[in-house]
Amino acid sequence: MTAYDVIIRPIISEKSLSEIGNKKYYFEVAKKATKPQIKKAVEEIFKVKVESVNTANVYGKIKRQGRTEGLTGNYKKAIVQLSSDSKSIEFFDSLS
């Protein structure tokens, strides 16, 4: 699995944007990705130094449209904490 297969997309929300100042970044990652794989992928793609990685499985919610019901998709979320001497990720700098 390459680094670009591990990191699917950044998660942009009010909470994730408020954590950018603390050098915490949120990503949707592959369901089978491990913490060491996520750490290596972020360091390779963004050229930063990762201190820790926390992961969580996010389960889909029930959504209705008229009479029909369906589920949103399940995904795995990674919260990446950069080291204090590391530079920030430039992609998120333009958002905050």
pLDDT in tens, 1-17: 899 999 999 999 999 99
**Angle CA 75–35–27, to nearest 5:** 45
pLDDT tens for the chain, 96 residues long, are 899 999 999 999 999 999 999 999 999 999 999 999 999 999 999 999 999 999 999 999 999 999 999 999 999 999 999 999 988 888 887 776
The per-residue pLDDT for 71 is 95
**How far apart, in whole angstroms, are the C-alpha atoms of residue 51 and residue 4?**
20
> What are the beta bridge partners of residue 76?
29, 57
**How far apart, in whole angstroms, are the C-alpha atoms of residue 8 and residue 17?**
18
